[in-house]
């Protein structure tokens, strides 16, 4: 089997950039979202990003135009996936929503199609049984923002065939991304398990009154040489994203330490979700333009 056509479900901060990676790699790519407004915003963002790439000579005008010619936007799921060889789901980090999406994919995609979830923490074994092809289901976790971050975690569950992960790894290579294969499942995978440990400790220090969040970020950047502090990163990634991740982890483990912190709960209630809303831990002049 070869992968020639891709579909990405969800045109949010991750989905539209994953789709662009596919188009740049030469794949005929369709991106689907139930919201026409989200699709229009996604297209506008991609046009802006590619214009910057052309100006910086990261890509030629011809290569940009050819990529956009391969990229198609639609609100219809059936139209997006009916001829796809690989579908990458990039919807909200909620298990019930992802299962609903995969059940619909099963209805409309060809029998040979591989289904991958871009979830940052949810293992595919919790989703695969929503389909009749668990051997063709895996994780392909891209990092934010996908057009910048050179890494993808491909996760093989007990249900996943070797062919599925081999093809997923090959697609990552074609996208010019470094892919790491996890041979078995663990919630949060590699990067986020390490990252969450840092963020939990940073939050504990902040809520314990040991230091302000700005000073904690400063220490992490200056002493540990991280390019960005844990609170800055939460703002960049989206406080709501972290909230849903922690909720899912708590459901899986039952460990109170995995629950969203009091501060995160307060930020969610206030709608202070980070850069995208103009305020999180820090205040921003304008929301982020991916």
Tell me the catalytic residues. 141
Nearest to 231 by CA among 253, 271, 261: 261
Nearest to 219 by CA among 232, 205, 209, 229: 229
What token pair was written down for 104?
């619909």
In the chain, which ranges are continuous DSSP H helix?
15-24, 36-55, 61-70, 77-81, 95-108, 162-174, 191-207, 213-223, 230-237, 239-253, 262-270
153 phi, psi to nearest 5 deg: -95, 115
- In residues, how long is the chain? 290
Q: What is each CA distance from 204 to 210, 260, 264, 268, in whole angstroms?
A: 9, 12, 12, 18
What token pair was written down for 210?
């040991």
CA atoms within 13 A of residue 213's CA, in its CB half-sphere = 18
Nearest to 274 by CA among 246, 243, 240, 245: 240
Q: What is each CA distance from 104 to 1, 78, 160, 168, 204, in whole angstroms?
A: 23, 9, 20, 21, 41
């Amino acid at each position: 089997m070869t992968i020639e056509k891709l579909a990405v479900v969800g045109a949010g901060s991750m989905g539209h950039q994953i789709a662009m990676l596919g188009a740049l790699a030469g794949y005929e790519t369709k991106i689907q979202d139930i919201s026409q407004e989200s699709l229009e915003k996604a297209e506008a963002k991609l046009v802006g990003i590619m214009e910057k790439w052309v100006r910086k000579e990261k890509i030629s005008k011809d290569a940009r135009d050819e990529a956009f010619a391969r990229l198609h936007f639609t609100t219809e799921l059936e139209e997006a996936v009916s001829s796809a060889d690989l579908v990458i789901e990039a919807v909200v980090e909620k298990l019930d929503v992802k299962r609903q999406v995969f059940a619909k994919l099963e209805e409309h995609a060809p029998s040979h199609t591989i289904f991958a979830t871009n979830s940052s923490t949810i293992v595919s074994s919790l989703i695969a049984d929503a389909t009749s092809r668990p051997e063709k289901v895996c994780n392909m976790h891209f990092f934010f923002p996908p057009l910048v971050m050179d890494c993808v975690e491909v996760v093989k569950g007990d249900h996943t065939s070797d062919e599925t992960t081999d093809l997923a790894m090959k697609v990552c290579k074609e996208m010019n991304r470094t892919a790491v294969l996890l041979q078995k499942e663990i919630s949060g995978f590699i990067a986020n398990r390490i990252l969450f440990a840092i963020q939990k400790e940073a939050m504990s220090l902040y809520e314990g009154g040991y230091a302000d969040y700005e000073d904690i970020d400063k220490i992490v950047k200056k002493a540990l040489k991280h390019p960005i502090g844990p609170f800055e990163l939460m703002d960049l990634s989206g406080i709501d994203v972290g909230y849903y991740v922690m909720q899912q982890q708590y459901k899986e483990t039952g460990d109170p330490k995995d629950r969203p912190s009091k501060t995160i709960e307060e930020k969610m209630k206030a709608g202070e979700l980070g850069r995208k809303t103009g305020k999180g831990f820090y205040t921003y002049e304008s929301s982020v333009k991916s």
